[in-house]
Each structure stands twice: as C-alpha cells, then as structure tokens.
C-alpha cells in the first residue's frame, strides 16, 4: 500500500496519519493556564484603555488590540472545548466558557456545531455548515437580496459579515431546534451566560463614560462594538482560509465523501510568517488539528511538520499572500458538486478540483468495512 493511501486509511484510526501524531498529545497545564491568564489580563487592560483613552487615535489602537486578544482567547477556548488544552475535563470546560465570553460565543453550541458537525463531517454539504459553497442552481433559486448577500460574503471584504450573520447569529445565538432535546437546557444556559456578559460589559462601559465625562456612544463603540466587529472579521477570514482553496473539494453525498481523506486534504495549512503564526497560537497549522484534535496548540507546529514530512502529496500547504487571497476569493464562488469544479456567479468554471480518485475509493471502501 502506498504512503498516501495508508495515510488516508489511518487518519481516523490508530495507524497512519493519526498514529503519527500520537506522540504530540503532551499537555502542559501550567503553560496553558499562564497563556490564558496573560491573554485575559491583556484583553481586560485593552478594554479599560479603550474606555479611558481620550485621543481618538488611541481609542482606535486599543480597540484593535482588544480584537486581537479576543481572537487569542477564543483560540485557547477552542482548544479547551476540544478537551486538548488541559489534562482535566473540568479545567477545559471552565477555561473554554470563560475564554469564549469576550467573543460572545456560547460554549455548548460551539461544541456541537464545531466539534460534532464541522470536525465530524468536514466539507460534507448538509452537515458541515462552515463556508459551504452553493451550487449554481441553489444560487439562482435565491431571492435577489439573498443573492446579493452571497456576493458580499464571498467578496474580498465579506468574511466578517458572513461569520457575524451565518455563524454567530444563526448558529450560535438563534440555533434551530435540535433532535438532542436533552441538551437544550445547557444551550440556553450558555446563551444566557453570554448575554449576561455582554450586558455587564455594555453597562460598565456606559458607567465609565459618565464617570469620565465622555460620550457613552463613543465609549461603547471603542470598547465593545468595534472590537466585536473586528473579531468577526478576523474569525471569518481565518476559517475561510482553513477550508476554501481552488484545489479543495466539497461533497454533497456521503458515497463520495470520506472523513479520513477530508481531514488530510480539505484542511489547509496556510503558512504565515512564524511571528504571525505564534500570534495566532499556531491555529493555522490546521491539517494537524483536523487529523487529531487532541494535539494541543503548543504541539501543532511539530505535528504539522510530521504530517507534511510523511505525506507531502496529501497535505495542502499554501503560503499566504494577499495576491493569493484575492485569487482564492475570485475563484471560489460557487461549486459544481457533480463535476467537482469551482464556478463564478455566472456559472463559468474557475478551477478544476483534483480528486485523486483511487485514493478516494480506497478510503471509502475502508470506511464501509
């Protein structure tokens, strides 16, 4: 058996790609808690500075820094939500819930949508709802306003609006009723916790504005609204990069789709400079995260390097540049699920997606067994 086929076979089991990463599960609780405490303290300090600073330029600077630390706290909480950050379940749940609060993310709903649906059905339409492309027929059937929204979402500057509306609002704050009725109590509890945090943050900012003789609207904008908007832009941008690429396939039938192949091929390592990668807690080493979610953040660079060394033809690596991003946005509008091609909004083919059919067939057969 060739190495690529073995990798696909083993990505979900004890051997192959996932087995390769079994030595990268070491958790360092003290280091993880210190990173969480540091990012939390810096976030709180930036919120206070955005409230108290008088020059508009300084308020803007601290708003941007608030968004950065919201993003870093979210990435740490995301790891805790997978149970990979810390060695004890109660610590992971506590850090996860607290770390999600600045981004106004309900822990339990994120856990279901991300861990169960996105990771369990990566790039399978109808189950994975993160940046799932429409077909040409689906796009044409939309009312005009909704088609306009899709063009905005898949434009150069639409990722933040997509995350705000389609993920945060529709999936986190107003989710459809799920079959798992016994968990709705926890979903409601987490949404109420997020709402209470948001209310406390807004009331505190308004009170500080009155106490310092500032405009309450300006302070709320600088300390709450702008950081939240920038966070949505960052999150929409990052998850777009994770699973959208001219060579990445999407599927609308389980017969074609394979979880093992999806985790190796459809989760992209978008390579940023090492300083940016560290700033993002290494979350862009995304193939390793999808192959094995138990690999903690600090171990992702090592795990990603192992995967790329063992399976260079299977793991997609894309050096980041703004010209690449613009090309990706121009290419990946709609998807032809029958012929596996990316299309523009007029239905013109923009990219053919290579499926490597023998590997896909072997992976599907393995799953059936």
Please state which of the ranges 59-63, 100-104, 171-175, 250-254 shows the lowest mean pLDDT: 171-175
Average pLDDT over residues 224-236: 97
The pLDDT score that the predictor gives to residue 22 is 76
pLDDT(117) > 80? yes
pLDDT(260) > 80? no
The pLDDT score that the predictor gives to residue 184 is 57
CB distance 135 to 334 below 8 Å? yes
The overall average pLDDT reported for the chain is 88
The pLDDT score that the predictor gives to residue 118 is 94
Pairing of strands 317-319, 269-271: parallel
- Name the token pair of 13: 């089991």
Rounded to whole angstroms, the Cα distance separating 58 from 166 reads 32
* pLDDT tens digits, one per residue of 69-87: 999 999 999 999 999 999 9
CB distance 83 to 165 below 8 Å? no
The pLDDT score that the predictor gives to residue 356 is 63
Average pLDDT over residues 27-51: 96
pLDDT(229) > 60? yes
* pLDDT tens digits, one per residue of 306-359: 999 988 888 889 999 999 999 999 999 999 999 999 999 999 999 999 886 434
CB environment 165-189: b (16+ within 10 A), e (fewer): bbbbeebbeebeeeeeeeeeebbee
- Matching residue, tokens 């689906």: 138
Handedness of CA 309, 313, 316, 317 (dihedral sign): positive
* pLDDT tens digits, one per residue of 118-150: 999 999 999 999 999 999 999 999 999 999 999
The pLDDT score that the predictor gives to residue 366 is 43
The pLDDT score that the predictor gives to residue 134 is 97
* pLDDT tens digits, one per residue of 150-167: 999 999 999 999 999 999
- 92-97 contacts: CB < 8 A, separation 24 or more? 95/32, 95/33, 95/36, 97/190, 97/193
The pLDDT score that the predictor gives to residue 293 is 92
The pLDDT score that the predictor gives to residue 367 is 43
- The model's confidence at residue 360, banded by pLDDT at 50, 70 and 90, is very low
DSSP secondary structure string for all residues of 302-338:
HHHHHHHHH-TTTS-EEE--HHHHHHHHHH-SEEETT
- The model's confidence at residue 276, banded by pLDDT at 50, 70 and 90, is very high
- The model's confidence at residue 195, banded by pLDDT at 50, 70 and 90, is very high
């Amino acid at each position: 058996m060739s190495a690529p086929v073995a990798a696909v076979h083993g990505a979900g089991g004890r051997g192959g790609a996932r087995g390769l990463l079994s030595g990268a599960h070491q958790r360092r609780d003290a280091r993880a808690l210190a990173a969480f405490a540091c990012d939390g303290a810096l976030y709180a300090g930036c919120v206070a500075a955005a409230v108290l600073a008088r020059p508009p330029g300084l308020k803007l600077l601290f708003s941007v820094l608030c968004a950065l630390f919201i993003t870093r706290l979210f990435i740490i909480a995301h790891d805790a939500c997978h149970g990979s950050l810390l060695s004890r379940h109660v610590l992971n749940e506590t850090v996860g819930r607290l770390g999600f609060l600045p981004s106004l993310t309900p822990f339990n709903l994120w856990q279901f949508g991300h861990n169960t649906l996105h990771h369990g059905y990566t790039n399978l339409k109808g189950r994975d709802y993160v940046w799932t492309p429409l077909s040409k027929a689906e796009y044409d059937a939309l009312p005009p306003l909704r088609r306009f929204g899709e063009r905005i979402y898949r434009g150069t500057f639409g990722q933040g609006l997509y995350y705000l509306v389609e993920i945060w609002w529709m999936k986190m704050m107003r989710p459809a009723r799920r079959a798992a009725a016994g968990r709705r109590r926890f979903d409601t509890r987490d949404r109420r916790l997020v709402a209470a945090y948001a209310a406390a943050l807004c009331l505190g900012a308004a009170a500080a504005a009155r106490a310092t003789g500032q405009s309450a609207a300006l302070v709320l904008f600088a300390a709450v609204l702008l950081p939240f908007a920038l966070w949505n832009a960052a999150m929409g941008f990052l998850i777009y990069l994770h699973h959208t690429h001219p060579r990445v396939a999407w599927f609308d039938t389980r017969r074609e789709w394979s979880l093992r192949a999806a985790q190796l091929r459809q989760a992209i390592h978008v390579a940023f400079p090492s300083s940016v990668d560290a700033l993002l807690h290494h979350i862009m080493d995304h193939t390793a995260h999808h192959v094995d979610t138990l690999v903690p953040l600090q171990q992702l660079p090592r795990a990603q390097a192992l995967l790329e060394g063992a399976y260079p033809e299977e793991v997609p690596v894309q050096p980041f540049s703004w010209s690449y991003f613009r090309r990706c946005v121009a290419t990946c509008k709609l998807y032809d699920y029958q012929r596996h091609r990316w299309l523009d909004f007029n239905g013109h083919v923009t990219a053919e997606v290579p499926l490597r059919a023998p590997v896909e067939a072997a992976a599907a057969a393995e799953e059936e067994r």
